[in-house]
Amino acid sequence: MDYHHINAAIDLLQNVANRLQSMVQTTPANRASNQTVYEATEMVQKALAEMSAAVNPPIYTDIPEELLDKAEALGIPLDDIEIRVAISSHHLSQVAGVLAEIDNRAEEIKRRREYFLVRLPDMPVEKLGSRLPVVTAADFKWSEEVTPQEVRDAIKAKYKIDNLLQNQPQSRSSLFEKIKQANEALAKAKSAETIPDPDDDEDIPF
């Protein structure tokens, strides 16, 4: 808890109470100025911002530098406690959106601080950066988990992988070897058929 912000809030609220009390005690109701009430309301808003800052300190460390530079260039007081609390408590896309709106309507918007505070909560939250998914080296790492033996056995049984392995086609070398053996056997068979039988004299001309 930051008591600096708490004390600032107390001072603001006491100031508001004193001014309103003074108005009630010294000014007839029909002559009271609405401006006094408006100023008191703004001081209460600032006191609320101080109390919020005491619980959640507003910091700009997560805000892109170019966004802060743009806000400053547009005349947004970055040291204002309400501005600091508003920026730190809203999405970056909302901050960027209201700044773009102020930039586009710069000639029309005179009270830019007030416009920023009023419009900021109404800005839609949008996704910043590229709409493509961010891919890192971790996405290309294959899982090193080993498939359980029972799962592999079930897959082999379902698709009869063992039978496919037993009936797989023969290699080219083994096929050529069998062709060679068949040719040799055929050649031996033919040579056996051409040898004359010595006991067969019917074909001898003399």
Cα separation values, 118 from 36, 87, 98, 188, Å: 20, 12, 10, 107
pLDDT in tens, 167-179: 655 555 566 676 7
The vertex-16 CA angle with 25 and 26, nearest 5°, equals 15
Find the largest Cα–Cα distance for the chain.
168
| Least confident residue range of 72-76, 108-112, 138-142 | 138-142
What is the spatial distance between Cα 73 and Cα 77, in angstroms, rounded to a whole number? 10
Burial class from Cβ neighbours inside 10 Å (0-12, 13-18, 19+) for residue 131 reads: exposed
pLDDT level of residue 181 (50, 70, 90 thresholds)? confident
Sequence spans of domains, the chain: 3-55, 65-122
Kindly state the average pLDDT of the residues 18-41: 85
pLDDT level of residue 164 (50, 70, 90 thresholds)? low
Res 173: pLDDT = 58
If you average pLDDT over every residue of the chain, what do you get?
Answer: 76
The vertex-65 CA angle with 118 and 60, nearest 5°, equals 60
pLDDT level of residue 134 (50, 70, 90 thresholds)? low
pLDDT level of residue 187 (50, 70, 90 thresholds)? low
Res 92: pLDDT = 87
pLDDT level of residue 192 (50, 70, 90 thresholds)? low
